[in-house]
Structure 1
Amino acid sequence: MLMQTLSAARDLGRLNTILGVLIRHGFGDSVRRLGLADTLEKAGHALHWDHAADLARLPPPVQVRLALEELGPTFVKLGQILAGRADLFSPEWITEFEKLHSQVPALPLDDLRAQLVQDLGQQPEAVFKRFDTLPLAAASMAQVHGAQLQDGTEVVVKIRRPGITETVAADLRWLAKLATLAEAQLPLLKPYRPQQLVRELTRSLTRELDLASECRNAERIAANLAQMPWIVIPRVHWAFTHERINVQDRIVGIAGHQLDLLDQNGYDRQLLARRGANAVLKMIVEDGFFHADPHPGNVLYLPGNVIAFIDFGMVGRLSRRRREDLLNLLLGLVERKPEAVADVLLEWTGDEQGVQLETLEGEIEVFVDQYYWCATGATEFGTDAERCHRHFA
């Protein structure tokens, strides 16, 4: 029956690669329990089981992170999504997932030229006053080149990697099948909801592969934050932007993790923190539409304590109901009402079976007591949170 779930023969090679990487990183037993080893052997694909000795000595979170990196962009993106699921994974797992980056060797411009000519209508050197041959950055989905428009505006040109959509589509087909098998054959994985995670990944990658969609996201968030002059979103140049390419103003600033440069250049870190927090709260709580990948490379600090957000390939959405729930949860924490926090958490889980309400409320109260007096002190924290509730509710 399992053979009937296999896709076209072209996908079998990719499955062979995926399972080979899992075996090499110490997950051979899981591959056997899924029944996929026998399936591949029947299809004429041999798996090698004798290369996992050194890697198997690594801690499991490290093994998984290395495996995801080796498997490429789809799996790296899966790990990045998992990095935000502290509700499912312990801190040591989250730490490893947060190390996942999509940086890969850049493609030569000649490999991109045919696609560029199709999208721009002519050679990039004819469209732009200057087009940099060497990229500014290269990631698994796309790479970015600097350029200058004919009017002298400095821009970045983001170019989707040729063939990436086919690779991602094949990976997503296999991930969906593996998730179904995992829930059926590996009960320990069921609480992690692998099928739901794959659906979430599919939605995210589908949007991220459309570079024009990224620009629509940027413009929507720019409009939402227009009343915050200390927030900058790069301008989109729609005349050159399509599904496989986008062109935006180039933003030059201090990257989010370069705190020493902030101090050296006289930036006010507390002011930056307040401005950044206000922008994030507005995106999430008021607008329900927010930047979902704000790692240090996507946040830049500019003179005048201005903050720039770039790269809106990943965005998040919250319904009005969920935003109200979030506000109630935050207010419950501020007012030290563990029962209100527990009510929201139980509603989010959708399953109260086996939950000891008194125990849950007690753990929430311990959590609040542990952090309530940290950092800003109770008065400032409580005042700010209550003000946020009154403003956004």
Structure 2
Amino acid sequence: MLVKGRRRLHRYQEIARVLARHGWGWILSRLGIPEHWKKHADLQPAEYAPAHLRKAMEELGPTFIKLGQLLSTRPDLVPEAYINEFSKLQDTAPTVPVPAIRAVIEHEFGAPVEELYLEFDDVPIAAASIAQVHRAKLLDGTRVIVKVQRPNVDDLVETDIEIIYARARSLEAHSEKARTLGLLDIADEFAITIREELDYTREARNTDRIREQMSTEKGVCVPKVYWELTSKRVLTLEEIQGAKITEVLVRNNPNLDYKELALRLASAFLKQAFVDGFFHADPHPGNILVTPQGEIALVDCGQVGRLEAENRVGAIRMLMAFEQQDPRVLADEILHLGIYHSEIDVRLFTNDLSKVMRSYYDVPSRSVNMGRLLTRVLSVSAAYKIRLPVVFAVLGKVFSNIDGICSKLDPDFNFTSVARNYVGKAVRSELSSEDTLNEFYRALVSSRNFLFALPEQLERLMRKAVEGTLRVEFKHQGLEDVEHTFARSANRISIALIVAGSIVGSSLVVSAGKGSKYWFNLPALGILGYVVATVFGVWLIVSILRSGRHK
């Protein structure tokens, strides 16, 4: 526990130094970090703020790089300038010495590297904040890529997660806006995501699943996983020879059909999202290769998105609403899928969605970027404090990236038209799926049970009505404040009547001159009545003023 606390303190100091160096020292006080760490807090960020925050995240390492990448998909949380900057986050790091990398492999498999691989290239081909990648050959000569987790990176990530949780709890405790945004929920989601990325067996399963999904797509391939050399910290994959898709664009290879490449790429991701409900969530150009045979290879399946059945149907309905230019259906679907804690002005919300849709009415469909459109819809929803499932923001970013790449491959490419075809496939797949048949069967069974039980239930109801034992209970909700107001008003009226009665009674006593003389030759009983009336009267006035009812 002591070591853990010391590690957390050291990390706090490191974060403070990096933020201060980039002019973000002022934010430390907002996060509740002690005063003596707020060095250079006077350096307020201006136009350069997003770029400096991005650089700070890159310096702070894997956790904050991944956090920035997550925030780049959340237009409901982050201004556009920061989203654009966070999208540029570069996950690079100095290389780890080869002996340390070999030690990780040998610890995972309990054998020397020479007994596991025929060849292992000590020169890494890539070094990121979480892993380092090397080329190797299996014992049978097969060329592979070996992804090895950096030593002790899991301890660093866990420390950072604890810090993020602590700051999220602090902000939610002191800020209504933080509670509305659900910062603790975001921290939970982020913790789950980055812990999954630290487990390479999960990435291996993701790769296998996407490989199976793409097996029916012509000209699209995904690397094979070699499970015998894969563990939580080591991942061994088939090496696919190919160039980044952006490099292919620059070379302008006459042997490649760029229109066909664009169609294949878009089709692969639309099928993953709308038909399979499980998609590659990090399709930047470095993760999309073009092989010498002209195939598209999807690599690095560490980040994936999952569209559950309800969300998948919701995404399809939202796309259909846009196609039919029906903002009311779009609004209804968002309200059905989203979470909100206050009353929504549906008419105003629908009108704002209509403004977004109208801006695309006269635009050719090939010029509509579906990802950016979805991002704009999410921004409007966020303005009304409606939180849609995070997967929609991820889907918007994925579609935006794929649409952009496809448009560079083929300037006349129409992503919306291709998506329309996959919406039809998704609907047919949903209707013909085994789950749909099972749900239909359950609905039939429930309907049958209801119909058979209905006569008996009606008979019981009628018998109770005839016998006079039928009891109907009403529960009023939301009337507690009204009851409290009436009770308080009744109390004040009672006090006012006591004051009035005391004044009238005292006046009668004084005018009659009865009783012993006390002061100014006035009866003591009359004076006592006036004192009681004054005390209660002052209390009544103060009570009214405090409650604001004097208006």
TM-score between both structures, scaled by the size of structure 2: 0.64
Could you report, residue by residue, the CA deviation over 1:115-157 in whole angstroms, capped at 9, with x for unpaired residues? Answer: 2222233332332222111001011110100011222211101
Change (3 A) 1:316 1:236: same
Q: C-alpha distance in 1, partners of 2:329/2:170?
A: 38
CA distance in 1, matches of 2:222, 2:65: 26
Aligned to 1:25: 22
> What CA distance in whole angstroms lies between the structure 2 residues aligned with 1:77 and 1:229?
33
State the one-letter code of the partner of 1:87: D
Q: Which residue of 2 aligns with 1:3?
A: none
Structure 2: which amino acid aligns with 1:125? E
Q: Distance in 2 between matches of 1:70 and 1:334?
A: 44
Paired with 1:256 and 1:85, the residues of 2 have a C-alpha distance of 26
SS of corresponding position for 1:158: strand
Using the TM superposition, name which of 6-15 and 178-187 deviates more: 6-15
Give the match for residue 8 of structure 2.
11
Task: Please report how far the alpha carbon of residue 48 of structure 1 lies from its aligned counterpart in structure 2 after TM superposition.
Answer: 5.5
| Residue 142 (str. 1) matches residue 176 (str. 2) | no
* Change in 2 beyond 3 A, CA 1:262/1:286: farther
Amino acid at match of 1:66: K
Which residue number corresponds to residue 102 of structure 1?
A: 91
RMSD over aligned Cα atoms = 2.5
Partner SS for 2:366: coil
**Preserved contact between residue 219 and residue 294 of structure 2 (Cα < 8 Å):** yes
Secondary structure of the structure 1 residue equivalent to 2:139: coil
Q: Which has the higher helix share?
A: 2
Cα offset, 1:325, TM superposition: 0.4
Amino acid corresponding to residue 98 of structure 1 in structure 2: S
How far did 1:203 drift? 0.8
Q: 1:65 pairs with 54, 57, 65, which one?
A: 54
Q: CA deviation at 1:267?
A: 2.4
Aligned to 2:32: 35
- Give the deviation of 1:88 after TM superposition: 2.9
Equivalences for 1:246-261 in 2 at 5 Å? 246-261=235-250
Counterpart for residue 169 of structure 1: 158
Say if 2:278 is the partner of 1:289: yes
Task: Give the distance between the partners of 2:420 and 2:283, measured in 1 at CA.
Answer: 25
Letter in 1 for 2:337: W
- Contact 2:270/2:419 (8 A) holds in 1: no
Alignment match of 1:342 (pick from 316, 324, 331): 331
Residue identity matched to 2:26? D
SS of 1:87's equivalent?
Answer: coil
Looking at structure 2, the residues matched to 383 and 208 of structure 1 have their Cα atoms a distance apart, in angstroms, of 34
Task: Confirm or deny: 8 A CA contact 2:274 2:422 kept in the other structure.
Answer: no
CA 1:271 to 1:37, structure 2 compared with 1: closer, same or farther past 3 Å? same
AA aligned opposite 1:328? R
Displacement of 1:112: 1.8
The residue number in structure 1 matching 2:190 is 201
The match for 2:120 is 131
Q: 2:421 aligns with which of 369, 373, 387?
A: 387
Q: Which amino acid aligns with 1:159?
A: V
Contact residue 331 and residue 385 of structure 1 kept, 8 A = no
Deviation, structure 1 residue 14: 1.0
Q: 1:271 to 1:191 in 2, by over 3 A?
A: farther
Q: Distance in 1 between matches of 2:423 and 2:351?
A: 24
Cα distance in 1 for residues equivalent to 2:257 and 2:174: 54
Q: How far apart in 2 are the matches of 1:49 and 1:33? A: 14
For normalisation by structure 1, the TM-score amounts to: 0.88
Partner of 1:368: 357
Structure 2 distance, partners of 1:232, 1:387, is: 22
Look up the match of 1:41: none
Query: Which segments of 5 or more consecutive residues in structure 1 lack a partner in the other structure?
Result: 1-5, 39-45
1:43 corresponds to = none
Q: Name the CA distance, whole Å, in 1 between partners of 2:248 and 2:286.
A: 13
Q: For the residues of structure 2 that align with 1:220 and 1:381, how far apart are their CA atoms? A: 25
- Which residue pairs with 1:91 in the alignment? 80
In structure 2, the CA distance between the partners of 1:9 and 1:352, relative to structure 1 (3 Å rule), is closer
SS of equivalent to 2:252: helix
CA shift, 1:319, in A, is: 1.1
Deviates further, 106-115 or 341-350: 341-350
| Aligned-partner Cα distance in 1 for 2:190–2:222 | 25
Distance 1:94 1:201 in 2: 17
Aligned-partner Cα distance in 2 for 1:112–1:345: 48
Instruction: Give the length in aligned residue pairs.
Output: 379
Residue pair 2:366, 2:417 contacting (<8 A) in 1 also: no
Cα 1:7–1:127 change in 2 (3 A) is closer
Tell me, in whole angstroms, the C-alpha distance in 2 between the residues paired with 1:138 and 1:314.
Answer: 18
Q: Compute the displacement of 1:249 (Å).
A: 0.7
What SS does structure 1 have at the residue aligned with 2:273? helix
* Residue 319 of structure 2, aligned match among 320, 324, 330: 330
Distance, in Å, in 1 between the alignment partners of 2:303 and 2:339 is 26
Gaps of 5+ in 2: 369-413, 428-551
* SS of match in other structure, 1:316: strand
* Counterparts of 2:416 and 2:196, CA distance in 1: 38
